[in-house]
Amino acid sequence: MDPIRFTREAGCLAGEFALAEVGRLRDELAGDQGVVTYRLAGALVRGRPALRLLVEADPTLICQRCLKPYVHPLHSEGVIFLAHNAAELERWESHDPLMDVIVAEAHMDVRMLVEDELLLSLPVAPRHEEGACQQTEIAQGAN
């Protein structure tokens, strides 16, 4: 898709694909079952072209406490601003270093954008929720 045109026309895309198809994520997963769903909407935000991205998935990760697999719900919503070139990107980032900005390519790969968001949404140290870890239950039973 042409991302600048997409934002000007307030385009909207939604879809899903199997986690098994996310090659760069596969090494982080305990299994490749599950689906990624996404919604991408173009908009002008504060007068700048932007993409609103919603990504949801339920990947199976390995708990760093008990080393058992568990399903980790991911929900990510964000706005990605589109700079026309590297100079504009640098200018925007210098004004707001926390702003998510990428250079708009002539043809943007939506799946790659979704994969990037998934990778950034993964926890650094995946763990079961407090009290749900089997190792915690075993340790409490030993006391």
Predicted confidence (pLDDT) at residue 143 exceeds the cutoff of 50: no
- Spatial separation of the C-alpha atoms in residues 52 and 79, rounded to whole Å: 5
Give the count of domains, the chain.
1
The pLDDT of residue 137: 46
The pLDDT of residue 46: 86
Q: What are phi and psi of 51, to 5 degrees?
A: -115, 125
Helix, strand and coil percent figures for the chain, each rounded to 5 = 30, 35, 35
The pLDDT of residue 139: 46
Q: What is the average pLDDT across 5-12? A: 91
- The strand pair at 48-57 and 35-45 is best described as antiparallel
Per this entry, what is the length of the chain?
Answer: 143
The residue segments making up the domain with residue 119 are 3-142
pTM listed for this prediction: 0.82
Predicted confidence (pLDDT) at residue 10 exceeds the cutoff of 60: yes
- Spatial separation of the C-alpha atoms in residues 69 and 132, rounded to whole Å: 12
> CA-CA distances (angstroms) from residue 114 to 16, 50, 108?
10, 15, 11
The pLDDT of residue 136: 45
The pLDDT of residue 138: 47
| DSSP string across 40-99 | EEEEEETTEEEEEEEEEE--EEE-TTT--EEE--EEEEEEEEEESSHHHHHHHHHH-TT-
Give 83-136 pLDDT, tens digit per residue.
Answer: 999 999 999 989 888 889 999 988 888 999 999 999 999 998 898 887 778 654
Give 18-76 pLDDT, tens digit per residue.
Answer: 998 888 888 888 888 889 999 999 999 888 999 999 999 999 999 988 889 999 999 99
